[in-house]
Every structure is written in C-alpha cells, then in structure tokens.
Structure 1
Amino acid sequence: MDLFGKVNDPIAHFVLHTLGWIRVNYFGQTYEVSLDPRSVRTAAVESFVAWMKEMHADATRPWLVKISAFTGRDWISVTDTAPEGIIAFLDRILEFGKPAAVPETLQVRQCPLDRAAGFGVEAVNTVIERWKAKGQGLPIDDPSVRALLATAKSGCTVKILSRDNIGRIVFGTYTPSLTTLWSRDSWGRFLGAPVGEVVPDRALGSAVELSARRVMETGRATVETWEGPVLSSTGIIADLAWDRLTLPLTSHEPNDAVLVVTHRLTPVDTDRLAS
C-alpha cells in the first residue's frame, strides 16, 4: 500500500469499493481474496487470474484459497484448492457488476417505411414526408413534429426519447393514445425519466431503449411490428401487437433524439387497462 503510505481498514475499503482493486492476504499456503464485483476493474481481474494460475503451477505444497465477494449487503465466499473453482466463482460473481438485462419477451419484425401510412393519422405521414424532404435531418422543433405531438386522443401514442448527459434514454414529450397501457398517474411521471426505470413493464422498457439506441446510432427511420405480452400500469397482462415508427431527429443540443409513434393492432378493453 505504498500509494497511501499506510494500511488500515478505511484504506482497504476505499480501494475495494472505489478503485476496484482485489485484495489478497496470505499466510503460508492459505490465501484470502476479497473484491467488490460492482467496482472491480478488468485489469485487476486479469492480473489476479494470471497470478493465481502461476502460483498454482509453481506450488510445491497444497494451497487453499478463500475468495469473498461483496453483494452490496453482505459477503459470500467460496473455498477451493484449484484455480478452476475460484475462476468459475469469479466469473459468476462478476455478473453483479454488469448492466441489468431483461429476458426478451417481445417479437419484433422489421417492416417497410410506407407501412406507417396505415396508422391512419395524417400528421404521421406529414412528418415522414418532411423528414425525407429535409434530407433525413428533421429538427426536433419542426412544425410537423409539434403538430403531431399535439394530436391528442388519436389512435397513436407519440413521444420523443433522447439520450441524456450520462447516456440514459429518457422520455421527452409524451402524448398517449386512446388505447394507452398506462394510467394518467403512470405516464404523468414519464417526462425526463429514464425509460428502463419508469415504464411499468421492465421487458418493454428495455426493448424500447434498445430500439431507440439503434436508430440514434444508424440515423435511419424504422417501422417495426411488435408482438407479445405487456404488463399495464394496473397490473393486467395483455397479449398485444402494434406497429412502431422510430424517426431520428436533429437538435440544437448535443444529445441524440428520436420521435416514436406507435399504433395498436390488437383490440383491447381500454377501461380495464387505463382505469
């Protein structure tokens, strides 16, 4: 610990939970290893694995390794005499530090852009034509976008999603359709909130984020048909299908943005979903 000039518990906790180090204590052929999987760095993991393999290969006597990982509340441990068991535990425990992933429950099919004409909302067609006329660089404050967002009580949900300063996909303006899955209390909290955190259906929120990121990265408009079970804000599960237009927008701000229009294909009892 030459970097700090001393060794004590506060310093040890700092390097584990903040700097992402792996701590190794040993006495003879017995080793105690500890790490925080949510902060550990790749270089620390690679160095530890290489050191352990080399140590085991050169060992002239049996050795014992106890590895402990902090879960955020407590420590969990595994003890082994071979590197394979320790590495297997390390691989599994590092999942704590990876971004959460939700299993995909929705089926998504790519469709031609002209399918959006079937939404039956003239303001949608106007936006697409303006986007094409602008050389596929439609400003976020274009009059056609504002007009579409103001088209309340239509058969489409209209929203703007953007990437915030720390990379999250967040809701901007949100205009619900007559068949929205969300109660007024739910969608009223969307503005400025991360999609993956505020949408009641976690799988849907995750899929919406991924779709928005793809369009932001490619700069190409997409129309997709989505199908599958969706959880409404009232806890009712509906097996639905809907078309989804995602259109990249340009902005005066440095952050990316997309316009999203969804059109329900599956009839649904809106009183049950949005009451």
Structure 2
Amino acid sequence: MTATPRTALTIAGSDSGGGAGIQADLRTFFACGVHGMSAITAVTVQNSLGVQGFSEVPAETVTAQIRAVATDMGVDAAKTGMLATAEIITAVARTLDEVRIGREGQVPFVVDPVAASMHGDALLREEALEAIRTELLPRATLVTPNLDEVRLLTGLTVTDPGSQREAAKALLDLGAQWVLVKGGHLEGVPDCVDLLSDGTHVVELTGPRYDTRHTHGGGDTLASAITASLAKGLGVPDAAEAGKRFIERAVAESYPLGSGIGPVSPFWRLSGAGH
C-alpha cells in the first residue's frame, strides 16, 4: 500500500482554460508530491485571451467545502487565490479559525492576494481589498503579492529593490508573518529578484528572466509550490526557495496554447528534467 502523502488545500477560483487558479494549484500540488484538495470560490469564463466573466460561489458553499476536507482528511498547509468578494473573504477567515488553519492554528497558510489577471482583468471587487488587509493578512504565514497587488494593498509603488523592502515592511505591518514581494514585473533589473522578509530576516531569491510571453498561472504556481513544501514540513525560507526554483523551471518549460498567453508548465518535474 502506498504511504499517505501530505495534504494541501487551495481555496480559489476555477480557470476554464486550465492555466491558473484551482487547476494550476492542483497540478502543482501533484507535481510536488502532495495530495491536493480544493474549495472553489468562483467559476471564471476564460481562455488564453483573458477573462470574459465570472460567477461567485455562495460563501456558505465555500466554507462547507473547507470544513468537509479539513475535518475528515486533514490539512497540512493551505493557500488562497481568487476570493472575489468581501463576504467570501470574511467567511473563509472565520472558517480557517474554526478548523485551526493559519497563524493561531499553526497549520501554514499562504495568501496569494489575487486582485487582477495578468491580462489586467479585474478578479477582485474593490470592497474586498480591505477584507484581505484586515481578515487574511493577520492570519497569513506568508503573503505572496506581485507589484500590482502591493500597490492595491498598501498604496506603495515598487520601482526598485529599495521600495521592495518598504513594501515588505508595509505588508508585515498589516499582520502577515512573512512576505514575499515578487519582482518579476520590476523593470530595469536584469534578474528576477523576489524579496522574502519577516521583518528580521531578509532574503533575496534571485533567478533568471526568460524571454517568453507564456507565463499564465505563474503566481498561482509559485504560491502552490511553496504551499506544497510547507505541507511537507519545510520552514518558510526553505519552502520559498523551493518554490522559486520550481517556478523558474515552470517558466522555462512554458508552452503556447491558444492564440493568447500560454501557461507555465509543472510538467518538467514529471518528465525527469528536474528533481
């Protein structure tokens, strides 16, 4: 009999094109060797060209999904993605407390504060931003914003490594235990540098930039790879390092699909191209 793997829960929206959201999270969990579970918060209508629309799942259905898996199968780490509304965010936060996921419950909890797609399509209503600040960040083991999400959450515009550090401090002040400010969209910097900080320790995770437009689902994949490593018992710095190396290879192996922007690929892990 196969040994039972560690478990990871994603609380996020569904991507009908399969490149981001729940679909990206689950395939990344699989590639990283953990059993993936899901609580779907919204159903999007999207493809490689962008998001044409979405419908939220009722908050009580979202929370029922979380309770169902947490109380029966157990959760070794969890993450959020697209949460869509303040009502869903508040309900998720209360339910995470109930099932002891997050800072107080000690089960690692990663917040990927999805506010817009890479195409610029809105995925988070304005009133939900404050709910992320007040409900999710104080419960977060780690928050993984891109530069647009930093601006939306803190009002700070990151233009250089110095302002990356300022942004990390601002997010830590909102209650997160660790912050990973992603630098993939930072202009004028030859490498892709993500800044990890808990206010005391600061680590720069540096990697190459790849000449590809096919990066759909990159943020989801990074957060999921980190969550998988946390589920396996790694500490935040080691999990962030493992996630960084995972997404590097996923971007390097990204592929065209459809007539727009293709997805990053976790298939390198399955093909024997890496370990």
**TM-score class, shorter:** under 0.3
Higher strand share: 1
Q: TM-score, normalised by structure 2?
A: 0.24
Q: Which structure carries more relative contact order (alpha carbon 8 Å, separation 6+)?
A: 2
Q: Which has the larger radius of gyration?
A: 1
